[in-house]
Chain A
Amino acid sequence: MPRTILEPRFQVEYLSILDSEGNLDAALDPKLPPGDLKALHRAMVLGRRLDERMVRLQRQGRIGTFAPIKGQEASQLGSVFTLRRTDWMVPSFRETAAMIWRGWPIEKILLFFAGYVEGGQPAPDQHDLPITVPVATQLPHAVGLAYAAQYRGDDAVVMAYFGDGATSEGDFHEALNFAGVWHVPVVFVCQNNQWAISVPLKKQTHSKTIAQKALAYGLPGIQVDGNDVLAVYAVAREAVDRARAGEGPTLIECVTYRLGVHTTADDPTKYRAEEEVRAWEQKDPLTRFRAYLEKKDLLEDGLEQRVDEEIAEAVRRFEATPPPDPLTVFDHVYAEMPPHLRAQRDELARWLREGAATGAEAPETPPRATPMRGQRLTRR
């Protein structure tokens, strides 16, 4: 029997538009109007400045453990920028910049990382899922949302975020498979930041790219320079438009780098070389976009200061939040509180009343946020 080559043959594209010095490949220019370019830049600056502020807040004990986004601003904003408000955004736990673009108030994100359940509540008209921590488990939800949108005849598109580590989880493969079989309007955005805590990409997968994993499920996969906001925008635009037109799902692999720690409980000096970090700092998405805008004379004076003021205002609102009422923890367990929860709540209420009367004191600060999966709590 002969050994034959099966058609079709597959290929995976890679797209880059801005080089690290901010020089544009004019043939590939997505031709965004100046207002959009400025909005993208402002959102990237806000993402970076807030990230730095949040690291300080964590070090000061004012918020708990969180996952910084530094270095991934272009991957997040270039992609989320293509969504309409009626589209759905499904985050993992490292999407601060994209979440703010989607309308999450900064103080709500701060509340989330300060251990307040209130931080997980999207606004009534917001088509955003809250942060999901167990890796890759949000991806089937995105496919289900997309299925439901199609079922209802809505023209909504769903965009789901995850990292390179998530592509080893069953849920990733199952979600891509379902999305392919069902041909639903979902865009999978993998932020390949090269490191899943201490595990580098080469130990995560033997595939040359993550993008090619899509091909096995019958959907297009494309790799993009994740530090080039224009390139990310261009591929996301194409994928979102295809999804909305009924042409099915896409996997986008944004090749980027986590310039900071995995979370504030992580110490990357234990597992990666400083030289590698320095090399990726040369490809910083903010530096190159700033250089590009400077050439186009689109840089705004005083942007950093205005962004810092916005952050400071949000931090003030966050700090003014009243202490959490322990009795509200029972409120959202069921639609209607069953008797046993009511009894437990009454018991707690009695304890809080009588405990105070006997001189027992409530803790002054909320307990430390629980570390995320795979974390050590290292002393800093």
Chain B
Amino acid sequence: MTARAMTKLNMVKALNWALLQEMERDPDVLILGEDVGVDGGVFRVTDDLQRKFGSQRVIDSPLAEAAIIGTAVGMALYGLKPVCEIQFSGFAFQCFHQIENHAARYRLRSQGRFHCQMVIRMPYGGGVRALEHHTESEEQFYAHVPGLKMVIPSGPRTARALLTSAIRDPDPVIFFESKALYHAAKEEVPEEPETLPIGTAQVVREGRDLTLVAYGAMLRVAREAADVLQAEDGVETEVLDLLTIAPLDRETIVASVGKTGRAVVVHEAPRSFGPAAEIAASIMEGAFLHLEAPVRRVTANDVSFVGFAREKANVPDVARVVAAARETLAF
């Protein structure tokens, strides 16, 4: 193994590195969004990029989500590789038609003549005491749309590597960044560009008794639950970090549950028709005869907005995951 120069970065800075290095590598990569230039983005992910690359490549757009995505579709049809920022995922419904009607479909509609190599970055999720439209998790909408890839990193290193992969990916990628993770922790990140395959989950902890499936901000919750189960129950938990929601890495999930026979899926999005439902169905299809218990879901409730005063009760935490795991183990 060759020694690589590493730097400790938080997720904001790690994402900024991915953008900076991809823009240096490829003149077709450009950034488009509200306040991404002079301001460097409201979370500073695009900090200093306009100064480095100019206002033609880091574009402060008018306040119009649909036109950000719509014009980026046009740029992508022409061969550019726009990286769009939607300021909060809760505002993306104003451009959902451009994403679903066009970005996701151009390859199909034009039968391969056109495609949209573009990334749509959005901060998502709760845990930051924010108002309505600033705390929701909406990955299920994008994961459900054929033609889109839906990526959610779980920390600085995966964020940097996956954003690099997303920019290089020939298909449109919806890239969700957990606001709770932006400044949560620093990790060693290699200074040279690094990629991770989109569509591949990671086994971040091995175990033989139970599989916990999580992603984004919920990965930390799952890992801590696994620690509790090890310490208090002597249970060996396998933890999967999905990283990509769609296309879903069914192989890794099924292989893990084939070994453990029990699974709990954790996500911040509402339950019904959420990613956990698809994961549970995939486990039924791929590992039914190995199952010792029904697949459990620990998710937000089916409420679109609860207000941050009640947010804690709505979002999965370690205790809820441990409780669900114990029920599953006792089935």
Interface residues of A (CB under 8 A from B): 117-118, 120-124, 126, 129-130, 132, 134, 137, 139-149, 151-152, 170-171, 174-175, 177-178, 181, 331-335, 338-341
Contact = CB atoms under 8 A, between A and B. Distances in A.
Interface string B116-137: 0000000000000000000000
A91 to B, nearest CB: 13
A195 to B, nearest CB: 23
A159 to B, nearest CB: 13
16 contacts: A117-B111, A120-B110, A122-B110, A122-B114, A126-B113, A137-B98, A137-B102, A141-B70, A144-B71, A148-B75, A152-B78, A170-B64, A170-B94, A174-B62, A331-B112, A339-B250
A177 B67 CA distance: 9
A201 B273 CA distance: 42
Interface residues of B, number: 43
Given A118-B111, A141-B70, 12 more contacts: A140-B71, A145-B78, A147-B74, A148-B74, A148-B78, A148-B80, A151-B75, A170-B64, A178-B64, A338-B199, A340-B247, A340-B248
B70 A144 contact: yes
B51 interface: no
B250 A144 contact: no
B169 to A, nearest CB: 8
Contacts of B70: 137, 139-141, 143-144, 171, 174-175
Contacts of B74: 140-148
B156 to A, nearest CB: 27
Contact of B67 (A130, A178, A331, A334): A178
B108 A335 contact: no
B109 A130 contact: yes
Nearest to B172: A334
Nearest to A335: B170
B71 A143 contact: yes
Contacts of A147: 71, 74-75
A129 B105 CA distance: 13
Contact of A151 (B56, B61, B247): B56
A100 B251 CA distance: 48
A339 B201 CA distance: 14
B77 A333 contact: no
Contacts of A333: 107-108, 146-147
B110 A121 contact: yes
A178 B33 CA distance: 12
A144 B77 contact: yes
B226 interface: no
B255 to A, nearest CB: 13
Nearest to A124: B113
Contacts of B101: 134, 137
B114 A129 contact: yes
Contact of B113 (A121, A142, A339): A121
